[in-house]
Amino acid sequence: MLAGLGVQLGILSQLYSGMMSRILDGFDLTYPQFAPLMHVSRRREASRVSDLVAAVDLTQSAVTKAIQKFTKMGLVEVSRDSTD
């Protein structure tokens, strides 16, 4: 029974990944870029790149590039933190 659950979860994961890839492709986004975008959209206050890195388990470089892309797309605004 437990082995069957593993197979079903594997199939579900594959279907979900494929569906998300097709949807995000229409917005010129990748699945790894989707995680920081969703994190930012759920927050009411500004986020630092380091906070996003910890929250979505991506490298600082990947998050920085994603934020730059979101900025160009008009999805987020970037501002300097006065305490940095």
Averages of pLDDT over runs of 10 residues in the chain (84 residues) are 86 94 94 91 87 92 94 91 70
pLDDT at 8: 93
Angstrom distance (rounded) from CA 33 to CA 40: 11
Q: Is residue 53, in this structure, part of any structural domain at all?
A: yes
pLDDT at 45: 84
Contact status, residue 50 vs residue 58, Cβ threshold 8 Å: no
The CATH code of the domain that includes 19 is: 1.10.10.10
Residue 62 to residues 7, 10, 82, 83: CA-CA distances in angstroms?
Answer: 31, 27, 24, 23
Q: Is residue 56, in this structure, part of any structural domain at all?
A: yes
pLDDT at 84: 60
Instruction: Count how many domains the chain has.
Output: 1
pTM (2 decimals)? 0.75
User: Tokens representing 76?
Assistant: 């987020």
pLDDT at 16: 93
